[in-house]
Amino acid sequence: MSFSLLDIWQHMGLTAKLVNLVMLIMSIYSLSIMIERFMTYRKAKKQSRVYAPKVAKLLKDGKIQEAIKISSGKEVKNSHLAKVLLAGLNEYEYQKESGGVSRDEMMEAAHRAIERATALNLTDLRRGLSGLATVGATAVFVGLFGTVAGIINAFRGMALTGSGGIGAVSAGIAEALVATAFGLFVAIPAVWAFNYLSTRVEGFTVEMDNSASELIDYMAKKTAT
């Protein structure tokens, strides 16, 4: 028997084929998450890098309406900072225009709006990461299941034919071990990507918290004057 992938696939049992098809689907799924998240995070970082100094200058000059306008623009629709600051600025303006609200109530309302926006933004940033973690944690075990099923099939074939020796089962074991190798091939990149992307999300969280604190400080100074 040749040990090319095509020949191994042709000699695989039904269970082994199903296991490898499942892992192929898991691989495609995890790869699609990696690409989509990389692109999303890249856009968020790029847009926020341009947005932050612009909105900081506008707030320093007291141009809140202009800051709201730039925060809601299409050019910053993927910016995690713009989403958070926009929620706080809108709530601040709403409370100020409503009137009859104390300074503490105004600050508390703006703070709650920022917290809600941050929570929603983090949920969006983490989208797909749980699936990536699941693939990384289970792909090896799915592959191991395929290996065990393949080895059982190989020994059953040896029992039915009555032949013995390593030569009688070597081909079947080789087919079975392909599932484990495939499982490792799927799991390792998924775990690496999950850890990397989770670190990126933590960085975004710190940036949003810092920007929110700076905005709250700005509002406190603004309402005190």
Lowest mean pLDDT among 3-12, 23-32, 203-212: 3-12
Is the distance from CB of 220 to CB of 108 less than 8 angstroms?
no
**pLDDT at site 129:** 95
Q: What angle do CA 147, 153, 154 make, to 5 degrees?
A: 90
Is the distance from CB of 70 to CB of 52 less than 8 angstroms?
no
Neighbouring C-alpha atoms within 13 Å toward the C-beta of 19: 28
Counted domains in the chain: 1
**Domain encompassing residue 185:** 5-224
Judged against a pLDDT cut of 80, whether residue 31 lies above it is answered with: yes
pLDDT in tens, 156-176: 766 666 555 555 566 667 777
Give long-range contacts, CB 8 A cutoff, 24+ apart: 198-205: 198/129, 200/41, 201/122, 201/125, 201/126, 201/129, 204/41, 204/44, 204/80, 204/122, 204/125, 205/118, 205/122
**pLDDT at site 210:** 92
Is the distance from CB of 8 to CB of 178 less than 8 angstroms?
yes
Of 145, 142, 172, nearest in space to 156 by CA: 172
Judged against a pLDDT cut of 70, whether residue 10 lies above it is answered with: no
